[in-house]
Amino acid sequence: MRVIIVGCGKVGYNIASQLCNEGYDVTVLDKNGDRLQNIASNYDVLAMEGDGTSYNILQEAGIENADLLIAVTDSDERNLLCCLIGSRAANVKTIARVRNPIYSSEVDFLIKGFGIAMIINPEMAAASEIARIFRFPSAISIETFAKGNVELLTFRLGANSILVGRQLAYIRSKLGCDVLVCVVKRGNQVFIPSGTFVAEAGDVLSIIASQGQANDFLRRIGIINNRIGNVLIVGGGTITYYLARKLIEDGIGVKIIEKDRTRCEELSDLLPKAEIIEGDGTNEELLIEEGLEDVSGFTALTGIDEQNIMLGLFAQAKSRNNAKVVTKIAKLTFTSVIDSLDLGSVVNPKDITADYILQFVRSMQASEGSDMENLYKLANKEVEVMEFVIRERTRVVGIPIQDLPIKKNILIGKIYRQGKLITPSGADTMEVGDSVVLVAFRKERLKSIDDILS
């Protein structure tokens, strides 16, 4: 499959690297030669210097033989124009990064008018993830499947939890909770566990549960999920705008510290229900003065990763209410060091964007009969949790799971069928119309439901 990426900034680089790692034929276009040299020296891509809004340049890049064009330059308008030219020049699907909030309510019109297959807004996607975390503060991260009916939550197991020293089968046999632990991260080790796996303090567990069941489960194992009442945000960029809008809609109080006066005035107009403070959010005295010690939620959304990390650590140290802390990291790649720091939940907008696009690419390549609806990565991207919708009869349909030759280390987590959620046993089957949630190590690179079979 041939993919052309226009724009080799942080997002373009991340997308190109992931697609290369999965074996796709990738061409990268950018006007900046240094960026191209960087990507070409690290990955097997064809790097071309040029403007992706030029029909002639796109022809040179092989648009007529490409399967997908992804436009992720720093200009929304250039991305839209690039996709329009690409779709008119060849039978190619297109994806555009569109970030300006003014376009957020016009996505359907843009998709139809420009013939675009997908519009992705990294800032809005990051804001949505942060908002979900604040709604469920006990979790490190929370994602949803099956149109919100299935939840994937990740949390750290405390030393006082009743699960410590017990087999995971205890969850269903003794606690009576219909919750499946699908991934365990212990230090640098990652497991897709069976029921006999014994949990230890400090383990990071990812669970799959129906909507509402996760709350009951966490309560039973001693984790209290207090509702977030107010959030302090440092940095007034685009993510902050989207996040504040979502939090206010949920009835959560929002205070934003931003040092640029003009931006403060803009945010005051855009977010009349938020409290906007002009000042330096890295100033310790200002943070304390504005109530850092007493808020129930804090997030650092400046444009500098190092500042966000320091602010996250400071918030954890100063909070009197055990505040939920979310730290945005856009570029730093020292994951082992970052994991060892007490930063609360870490959100990376470019990773979220790349995962959305990778999900789309895999769906394009999927065999007839099933489509990938969702894709999330866990445990430093070593494990993938995927949702497939079975559209037609495939090799897995109608056969008891215990009779299927399923590859090792692939877990069928949940089946959602006509409003009913099933935790599958060996006697259960997968049927046309089902949404199936699967867990597998990244190396499996599943593209369709049939790929689970050996």
pLDDT in tens, 94-143: 999 998 888 878 888 888 888 899 999 989 999 998 998 898 888 888 88
Question: pLDDT band at 151, cuts 50/70/90?
Answer: confident
What tens digit of pLDDT does each residue of 2-15 get?
999 999 998 899 89
Most confident stretch, 10-19, 152-161, 198-207, 357-366: 198-207
Q: Residue 354's pLDDT is what?
A: 84
**Percent of the chain predicted with pLDDT > 90:** 58
Distance CA 242, CA 134 (A): 14
For 376, the 3-state DSSP assignment is strand
For 181, the 3-state DSSP assignment is strand
Q: Are 1 and 340 in contact (CB under 8 A)?
A: no
Q: Residue 368's pLDDT is what?
A: 53
Mean model confidence pLDDT for the chain: 89
Dihedral, CA of residue 80, residue 81, residue 83 and residue 84, to nearest 10: 120
Q: Which CATH architecture has domain 127-220?
A: 2-Layer Sandwich (3.30)
Q: What share of the chain is helix, strand, coil (3-state, %, to 5)?
A: 35, 25, 35
Which residues of the chain are in CATH 3.40.50.720 domains? 2-120, 230-347
What tens digit of pLDDT does each residue of 340-397 get?
677 778 888 888 888 888 888 877 766 555 678 888 888 888 899 999 999 888 899 9
Q: Residue 100's pLDDT is what?
A: 86
Average pLDDT (224-243) is 91
210 has pLDDT over 90: no
Q: What is the DSSP string of 223-281?
A: ---PPP-EEEEE--SHHHHHHHHHHHHTT-EEEEEES-HHHHHHHHHH-TTSEEEES-T
Distance CA 102, CA 180 (A): 41
> What is the maximum span of the chain, computed from C-alpha positions, in angstroms?
67
Distance CA 47, CA 17 (A): 13
Polymer length in residues for the chain: 454
Distance CA 319, CA 291 (A): 9
Question: pLDDT band at 444, cuts 50/70/90?
Answer: confident
The domain defined by 362-452 carries CATH number 3.30.70.1450: yes
CATH of 230-347, one of 3.30.930.10, 3.40.640.10, 3.40.50.720, 3.40.109.10: 3.40.50.720
pTM of the full structure: 0.79
2-120: CATH superfamily:
NAD(P)-binding Rossmann-like Domain (3.40.50.720)
Distance of CA 40 to the CA centre of its chain: 26
What tens digit of pLDDT does each residue of 269-279 get?
999 999 999 99
Q: Residue 322's pLDDT is what?
A: 84
Q: Residue 434's pLDDT is what?
A: 94
Distance CA 26, CA 61 (A): 10
Distance CA 313, CA 96 (A): 35
Which residues of the chain are in CATH 3.30.70.1450 domains? 127-220, 362-452
257 has pLDDT over 90: yes
Distance CA 52, CA 131 (A): 34
The tokens describing 356, both together, are 């959305």
Say which residue, 393 or 203, is predicted with more confidence: 203
Strands 204-210 and 189-191: unpaired
**Percent of the chain predicted with pLDDT > 70:** 96
What tens digit of pLDDT does each residue of 288-342 get?
999 999 999 999 999 999 999 999 999 989 988 788 999 999 876 666 667 667 7
Distance CA 97, CA 328 (A): 19
